[in-house]
């Protein structure tokens, strides 16, 4: 396992995600000792030449006790109220903690739109990049005070994976209340720690739906494994372990579970399209079009589309769906508005050009703007 130490200790830019249950008490308030312990580990890294981005849950949980709420609220309005109280407490504690190490923190609150719309995505990158250039520690969280049910991540694991790709991190560390990925429930004596994951084959038969124990978080092992898939697919190794093990992880000790990164990093644009976009509609493909797009890596033409769903404009991401099974096979940036497409379906591009003009002799989705799912 010497390779684990090399991957971790050699990482210069590190994104660390910590869950609510690792920062708060059972009553819902911030556990100052836990926060300070994590800050000491990360502050030590940042003062020794490493760049650290912290993706921190905990705003809603931190706001429970001050608002005399006994448990995490289910309704969105109360969650947003708790977040508005808790976010200030959380960032204040981080600011005080990192100040002990001579470090400044910068708060970056993101919504789904900020990482799923290309223009916002670039803006988020510039902000994070400038904070790191100035020697600050970015503290990232979902903007729970304004996010609605329709435009929220629901947990910060996927957000952390997207942030890791956004800043071109060398390592993603997912900290929770479980010290590793196990073959079953961690409380089951028969379960074994999985120290190293090289691919999905290593997860065959593994039960990854273990929920957090505290009741104040929203994620579970499913979201963490999915976040690891996203990050490793972009060439970023991932370590999953518990917050108390953070110091051991950073020194390269064989703790937690290491997910090996893919050897070949995809183009950033295609990675963004696959993982950081929400489809605005669906194009249903006949069998010939599915074969052309998936097997032959061709562009999608109007002749192969049988139906259109959704409301989208040219340039929006859409899912390409097998009309027979209903399963998405690809995602791409569409070249037509939703209102234009129905009149074009089933017709060849030369036919359309002859009838409607040369502007219609183009692909619905060009192969360079398309990624297989």
Q: Write out pLDDT tens, residues 198-254.
A: 988 888 767 654 444 444 444 578 889 999 999 999 999 999 999 999 999 999 999
Mean pLDDT computed over every residue of the chain: 87
The answer on whether 218 is annotated among ligand-binding residues is: yes
Q: What is the CATH number of domain 2-271?
A: 3.40.1160.10
What are the residue ranges of CATH 2.30.130.10 in the chain?
279-372
pLDDT of res. 177: 86
The answer on whether 217 is annotated among ligand-binding residues is: no
What are the residue ranges of CATH 3.40.1160.10 in the chain?
2-271
The answer on whether 177 is annotated among ligand-binding residues is: yes
The residue count for the chain? 373
pLDDT of res. 59: 87
- Residue 60's alpha-carbon distances to 89, 189, 223, 266, in angstroms, are 10, 33, 19, 35
Question: Is residue 111 within 8 Å of residue 71, measured between CB atoms?
Answer: no
Exposure class string for 11-27: b at 16+ Cβ within 10 A, else e:
bebbbbbbbbbbbbbee
- Over residues 115-141, the mean pLDDT reads 87
The answer on whether 219 is annotated among ligand-binding residues is: yes
Q: Tell me the pLDDT band of 3, cut-offs 50, 70 and 90.
A: low
Q: How far apart are CA 36 and CA 244, in angstroms?
A: 11
What digits encode the pLDDT tens for the residues 300-348? 999 999 999 999 999 889 999 999 999 999 999 999 999 999 999 999 9
Pick the CATH number of 279-372 from 1.10.3720.10, 3.40.50.2300, 2.30.130.10, 3.30.43.10: 2.30.130.10
The answer on whether 155 is annotated among ligand-binding residues is: no
Residue whose C-alpha is closest to residue 146's, from 198, 205, 92, 84 = 84
Strand partners of residue 258: 196, 239
Q: How far apart are CA 266 and CA 274, in angstroms?
A: 10
pTM above 0.75, yes or no: yes
The answer on whether 223 is annotated among ligand-binding residues is: yes
Tell me the pairing of strands 13-18 and 105-110: unpaired
- Over residues 172-178, the mean pLDDT reads 93
Helices 268-275 and 221-233 cross at an angle (nearest 10°) of 160
Both ends of the chain: CA-CA distance in Å? 32
pLDDT of res. 150: 43
- Over residues 65-73, the mean pLDDT reads 86
The answer on whether 17 is annotated among ligand-binding residues is: yes
Question: Is residue 124 within 8 Å of residue 108, measured between CB atoms?
Answer: yes
Give CA 298 to chain center in angstroms. 29
Q: How far apart are CA 303 and CA 315, in angstroms?
A: 20
pLDDT of res. 136: 97
Burial label, 253 (beta-carbon count in 10 A; 0-12, 13-18, 19+): middle
Q: What phi and psi values does residue 318 have, to the nearest 5 degrees?
A: -135, 155
- Which of the residue ranges 11-15, 162-166, 189-193 has the most confident prediction, judged by mean pLDDT? 11-15
């Amino acid at each position: 396992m010497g390779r684990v130490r090399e991957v971790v200790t050699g990482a210069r830019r590190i994104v660390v995600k910590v869950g609510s249950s690792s920062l708060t008490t059972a009553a819902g308030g911030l556990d100052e000792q836990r926060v300070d312990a994590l800050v000491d580990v990360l502050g030590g890294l940042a003062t020794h030449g490493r760049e650290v981005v912290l993706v921190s849950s905990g705003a809603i949980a931190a706001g429970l006790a001050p608002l005399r709420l006994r448990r995490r609220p289910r309704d969105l309005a109360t969650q947003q109220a708790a977040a508005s109280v808790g976010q200030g407490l959380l960032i204040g504690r981080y600011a005080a903690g990192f100040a002990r190490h001579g470090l400044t923190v910068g708060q970056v609150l993101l919504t789904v739109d900020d990482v799923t719309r290309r223009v916002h995505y670039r803006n988020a990158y510039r902000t994070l990049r400038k904070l790191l250039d100035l020697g600050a520690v970015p503290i990232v969280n979902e903007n729970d005070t304004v996010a609605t049910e329709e435009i929220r991540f629901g947990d910060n694991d996927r957000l952390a994976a997207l942030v890791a790709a956004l800043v071109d991190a060398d390592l993603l560390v997912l900290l929770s209340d479980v010290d590793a990925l196990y073959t079953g429930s961690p409380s089951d004596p028969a379960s074994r720690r999985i120290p190293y994951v090289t691919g999905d084959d290593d997860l065959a038969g593994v039960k990854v739906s273990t929920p957090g124990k505290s009741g104040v978080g929203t994620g579970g092992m499913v979201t963490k494994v999915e976040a690891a898939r996203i990050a490793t697919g972009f060439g970023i190794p991932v370590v999953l372990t518990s917050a108390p093990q953070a110091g051991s992880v950073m020194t390269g000790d064989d703790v937690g579970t290491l997910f090996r990164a893919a050897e070949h990093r995809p183009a950033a644009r295609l990675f963004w399209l696959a993982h950081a976009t929400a489809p605005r509609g669906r194009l249903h493909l006949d069998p010939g079009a599915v074969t052309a797009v998936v097997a032959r890596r061709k562009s999608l033409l109007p002749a192969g589309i049988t139906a259109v769903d959704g409301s989208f404009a040219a340039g929006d991401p859409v899912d390409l769906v097998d009309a027979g099974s209903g399963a998405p096979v690809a995602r791409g940036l569409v070249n037509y508005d939703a209102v234009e497409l129905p009149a074009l379906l089933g017709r060849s591009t030369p036919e359309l050009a002859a009838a409607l003009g040369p502007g219609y002799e183009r692909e619905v989705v060009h192969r360079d703007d398309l990624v297989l799912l």
